A and B are shown apart, each in its own frame.
Chain A
Amino acid sequence: METLTYNGTQIDVNAEGYLKDMKQWTPELAIEMAAQEDITLTNKHFDVLNWLRAKQAEGTPLSIRKVGNSGIVDIKQFYALFPGGPLKVSSKIAGIPKPASCI
């Protein structure tokens, strides 16, 4: 088992660095996690992260196509905001599990 230690708080993550409990997430933690992916979070990033967290809480399976239809960003902007695999990277920063999506 792996843990992240953020400001003295222990946060459980899996081997790939995804949070095990999305309730342990805070916006401040997201900023630090994003920095490790060389991403500086903007309000637009947070709009996407909050949308992802809301959908995850509803139990909706996530896909790039759904993010593209979210009305927050289109697919091109999504790739630009989170380079190197947008759904994977954004989910990690949003503190939700890695989406099991093929599309």
Chain B
Amino acid sequence: MQDVLERTATKEAAVVDKNKGKVKKVLVICSKGKLEDVYAALVMANGALMEGIQAKMFFTFFGLEAITKKSADHLHTATVGNPAFMPGMPTVVAGLPGFEAFASYMMKKEMDKLDMPHVTEFLQMIDAGGGEIYACKLAADMFHLKKEDFVDEVKDIITVGDMYALAEGEGTQIIFV
């Protein structure tokens, strides 16, 4: 018997038109160092790779905290100046010493339950998936950070012009966090 594999559709199928406007590459810019912002950037870049979409990441300003060896796994969430965090919580309470550390600890515990990796592991996953991670030259200069201060997955410290070159090509989307 001959091996035959046929696919037949009895109903109108395939909602996605594969030829039109497919996202081929994303450039995710992470400019913030808060736990939730960094995770948003990491999830989107990694999610792109999971879909077979190329992903590049560019970390700038406080986003550099996420790729700096000594701070990457110690990011905090903001309890003050964040109206969506426990609405009704008086700012004066949210600002008490230790409160932010406690909130960040609770948030990380919830993330662990969802099998979310720590920031350094997430960066390794993105690197393993073929994603590329870069640091902003201007911000690195400003914070006196050098290549050796960053995690190993950081490919290079680049200028804004180099960053745009990363986004070259049809079907690229730039996402700013």
User: Which A residues lie at the B interface, using CB under 8 A?
Assistant: 1-8, 13, 15, 17, 28-29, 32-33, 35-36, 61, 63-66, 68, 74-76, 79, 83-89, 101-103
CB distance from A87 to the nearest CB of B (A): 6
Question: Using Cβ atoms and an 8 Å threshold, which residues of chain B touch A64?
Answer: 46, 50, 125, 129
Question: Using Cβ atoms and an 8 Å threshold, which residues of chain B touch A101?
Answer: 50
User: 20 extra interchain contacts, Cβ-Cβ under 8 A, other than A64-B46, A65-B121, A76-B129?
Assistant: A1-B10, A1-B11, A2-B8, A2-B10, A2-B11, A2-B13, A3-B8, A5-B7, A5-B8, A6-B3, A6-B6, A13-B7, A15-B13, A64-B50, A64-B129, A75-B124, A83-B52, A89-B52, A102-B47, A103-B115
> A17–B7 contact, CB under 8 A?
yes
Which residue, of B11, B14, B117, B129, has the highest number of chain A Cβ atoms within 10 A?
Answer: B129
Total A-B Cβ pairs within 8 A:
87
8 A Cβ contacts from B1-30 to A: 1, 3-11, 13-15
Q: How far is the CA of A63 from the CA of B130 in the complex (A)?
A: 17
Of all chain A residues, the one with the shortest Cβ separation from B15 is A15
Known: A79-B128, A79-B130, A85-B52. A4 touches B117 (CB 8 A): no
Question: Using Cβ atoms and an 8 Å threshold, which residues of chain B touch A76?
Answer: 128-129
B174 an interface residue at 8 Å Cβ cutoff? no
Question: Using Cβ atoms and an 8 Å threshold, which residues of chain A touch B121?
Answer: 65
B89 an interface residue at 8 Å Cβ cutoff? no
> B5–A79 contact, CB under 8 A?
no
Q: How far is the CA of A79 from the CA of B74 in the complex (A)?
A: 29
Among A5, A66, A85, A86, the residue within 8 A (CB) of B4 is A5
Could you list some 26 contacts between A and B, CB below 8 A?
A2-B8, A2-B9, A3-B7, A4-B5, A5-B4, A5-B7, A6-B4, A6-B5, A6-B6, A13-B7, A15-B15, A17-B7, A28-B3, A29-B5, A63-B115, A64-B46, A64-B50, A65-B121, A65-B125, A74-B128, A79-B129, A85-B50, A85-B51, A88-B52, A102-B47, A103-B47
